[in-house]
Amino acid sequence: MESTDDRTASGEGTESGVSAAQLPTRQEVEDFLYREAGLLDEWRLEEWLELLTDDAVYQVPPTDSPEGDARNTLFIIADDAVRIRSRVKQLLGKFAWAENPHSRTRRMIANVRVLGAEGDDILVTANFAVFRMRYESVDTYIGHYSYKLIRGAEGLKIKERRAILDNEALRPHGKISFIL
Amino acid sequence: MDKSAEAFVIDDQEAGIFRVNRRAFTDAECLERERRCIFDKCWIYAGHESEVAHAGDFQSRNVAGRPMILARGDDGKVRVLLNTCTHRGALVCRQKSGSAKTFQCPYHAWTYNSRGQLIGVPGEDAYSPAFKRDEFALAQPAQVDNYRGFIFICFDRAADSLYDYLAGAKEYLDLVADQSELGMKVVAGVQAYSARANWKLLVENSYDGYHGLPTHQRYFGFLSDIGVEMRGNNLGAPRQQRVVDLGNGHAVLEYQSAWGRPIAHWVPSFGEHRKAHFEQMRRRFDERFGADRAYRICETSRNLGIFPNLVINDIMAITIRTFYPVASDYMEVNAWALAPKDESAEDSALRLDNFLTFLGPGGFATPDDVEMLESCQRGFANREVAWSDISRGMKREPPALTDELQMRAFWRRWNQLMIEPQAARARRAA
């Protein structure tokens, strides 16, 4: 993260990439992330999909290797765009039993920072606390998001979304059955 | 058959009746008895030798509810050390993993080497001549042994050897271990999760062929979305399909599956560009093992349950899964991916990708399994419904994948171990 800050500070935005002047403000990113959180908490998953690029990636690294690479480390979730869409379709269908009936979720997004750019990717980080309520228990997922956002004709879009857990294990949660 | 109030299992083979009393899933005293009669008596999986590949490597983890250190000593030997200072009890290793020449207790700085020997005691001259360093080495389980890289421990000095204990399960561990010429390795990253359910529900679930279609309909929907041909039934063609009671409570399902297997069973969703490479890998297996065994290794899937709490599912990828009851209605689960050491980076990435479609707490199947186990556990609050039925296919020969023979194999062994000490006590009293 810090090296990215340095790169931005030293003005290293390639000509084809995003210059410092074009970086979104923190407020614009916050508005975007709050909107995303609202769509997810309200189970408006089809609309959430519209926030993603066609080649989007959604990952949750394992709790013992938060910095791991999904190509050589066993993740909890490592979805490509096809699998994200399938996940949403399943969650909105009848047979994803772990989310049928749907759990309630409530997301707190904080400490939003625009870290800089890498080519066209806008690097953003934000802390999260996501509460999942089901069968009268509350499970708390704590961590931070690492986003790569793209600015397109329709505004910001998500190209990469990594939810990095601080929880040392999914205990007692047992699962990540909704979109974290 | 003993039908006293203590009976947990009704096993009437003539009538084809098999029932398990749900107190086995809910009763705290039953769990205490399991700790003594099962977990203190059986061989328990502790780890894989590849997790401590080099001298000095260690992993600290809970095994059978105890903090332990899996350590490769400076002599190259893998040991399992009980993680408690022999002085006053503190953990001597508080890192998850790493490499170390010594383990030093932070409390009073007693220091042990990588073989567990006590090599440093500050102010040792304060102790009497009766104090002998070599009596204070880190303790080890009564027995530790390794079968083809899988390391097991046993707290019972009188227990059968691991080789005998594994009985028929060895054949199926071989089918996994033979997937590499250089040996298998545990991939980085553990899926550490849990379920608010009794541990034996996960035993049953891990090789339950009956639940596949109803519980995992969404997974099969996903396979069909990505172009995997379903052949009408997820549990596939009859050419190789068997359910085997492997002895000592172990059991396996073996079947030809619709999904691709990263070892050498190509499916279109893996991409045309990989087809030739997969065929080449398969030819190598044919050469090494002959066509029949190569077919079994490459194209059949296996759900293997090793009594009491180890599952090795060699399905769309290989998972090692072990679990332990914290309470009668709560278990901790750890799952790893196992892969050939010599697998290319590209094949390994495919394997992990395939793994995640089905397996793990964020996959398209495991969360629904956890949901079902937790649902059973909630249902058990209805104590008026005292028994669960596990008789499916009891009078059918040969048993089908969707029958429950494998679970009966588990429960018979479980019951035997739980009842034996009681019966022995009763005999002594008489």
Residue A136 contacts B, CB cutoff 8 Å: no
Cβ proximity of A88 and A48 under 8 Å: yes
Whether the predicted pLDDT of A6 surpasses 50: no
- Give the CATH class of B44-154: mainly beta
Q: What is the pLDDT of residue B6?
A: 63
Residue of A57, A59, A72, A74 to mutate when probing chain B, most B C-beta within 10 A: A74
B214 → chain A, closest CA residue: A95
Residue B286 contacts A, CB cutoff 8 Å: no
Q: What is the pLDDT of residue A9?
A: 41
- Listed residue (B109, B105, B50) closest to B81, CA to CA: B105
pTM equals: 0.93
Residue A106 contacts B, CB cutoff 8 Å: no
In sequence order, what are the residues at sequence separation of 6 or more whose Cβ sits closer than 8 angstroms to the Cβ of residue B420? B37
* Angstrom distance (rounded) from CA B423 to CA B225: 55
A92 → chain B, closest CA residue: B218
pLDDT classification of A167: cutoffs 50, 70, 90: very high
Backbone angles phi, psi at B392, to 5 degrees: -55, 125
By DSSP bridging, strand A52-60 and strand A155-165 are parallel
Cβ proximity of B59 and B17 under 8 Å: no
Q: What is the pLDDT of residue B231?
A: 56
pLDDT by 10s per residue, chain B, length 430 = 444 456 899 999 999 999 999 999 999 999 999 999 999 999 999 999 999 999 999 999 999 999 999 999 999 999 999 999 999 999 999 999 999 999 999 999 999 999 999 999 999 999 999 999 999 999 999 999 999 999 999 999 999 999 999 999 999 999 999 999 999 999 999 999 999 999 999 999 999 999 988 999 998 888 888 877 665 444 444 556 899 999 999 999 999 887 889 988 898 889 999 999 999 999 999 999 999 999 999 999 999 999 999 999 999 999 999 999 999 999 999 999 999 999 999 999 999 999 998 899 999 999 999 999 999 999 999 999 999 999 999 999 888 999 999 999 999 999 999 998 878 888 888 7
Whether the predicted pLDDT of A2 surpasses 90: no
Residue of B352, B364, B369 to mutate when probing chain A, most A C-beta within 10 A: B352
Q: What is the pLDDT of residue A16?
A: 61
Whether the predicted pLDDT of A145 surpasses 80: yes
CA angle (B317 as vertex; B316, B319 as ends), nearest 5: 125
- Listed residue (A150, A137, A147, A146) closest to A164, CA to CA: A146
- Indicate the residue of B194, B225, B337 with minimum beta-carbon distance to A171: B194
The verdict on a CB contact (< 8 Å) between A86 and B226 is yes
- A164 vs B258: which has the higher pLDDT: A164
Q: What is the pLDDT of residue A12?
A: 46
Within 13 A of B352's CA, how many CA atoms are on the CB side?
A: 29
The verdict on a CB contact (< 8 Å) between B193 and A64 is no
Domain ranges of chain B: 44-154, 169-388
Residue with tokens 């040991």: B79
Residue A96 contacts B, CB cutoff 8 Å: yes
Give the CATH number of domain B169-388; options: 3.30.565.10, 3.40.50.620, 3.30.360.10, 3.90.380.10: 3.90.380.10
Domain ranges of chain A: 2-165
Instruction: Give exposure, B241-279, as e/b (b: 16+ Cβ within 10 Å).
Output: bebbbbbbbbbbbbbbbbbbbbbbbbbebbeeebeeebe
Mean pLDDT of all residues belonging to chain A: 91
- Listed residue (B72, B70, B106) closest to B91, CA to CA: B106
Residue A103 contacts B, CB cutoff 8 Å: no
- CATH domain A2-165 topology: Nuclear Transport Factor 2; Chain: A, (3.10.450)
* Angstrom distance (rounded) from CA B102 to CA B93: 9
Residue A171 contacts B, CB cutoff 8 Å: yes
Residue B190 contacts A, CB cutoff 8 Å: yes
The verdict on a CB contact (< 8 Å) between B352 and A73 is yes
- Indicate the residue of B194, B218, B357 with minimum beta-carbon distance to A172: B194
- Reduced to 3 states (helix: H, G, I; strand: E, B; else coil), residue B414 is helix
* Angstrom distance (rounded) from CA B176 to CA B313: 10
Residues of A in contact with B348 (CB under 8 A): 71-72
How far apart, in Å, are the Cα atoms of A95 and each of A98, A102, B95, B214? 9, 11, 41, 8
Q: What is the pLDDT of residue B230?
A: 64
Q: What is the pLDDT of residue B238?
A: 53
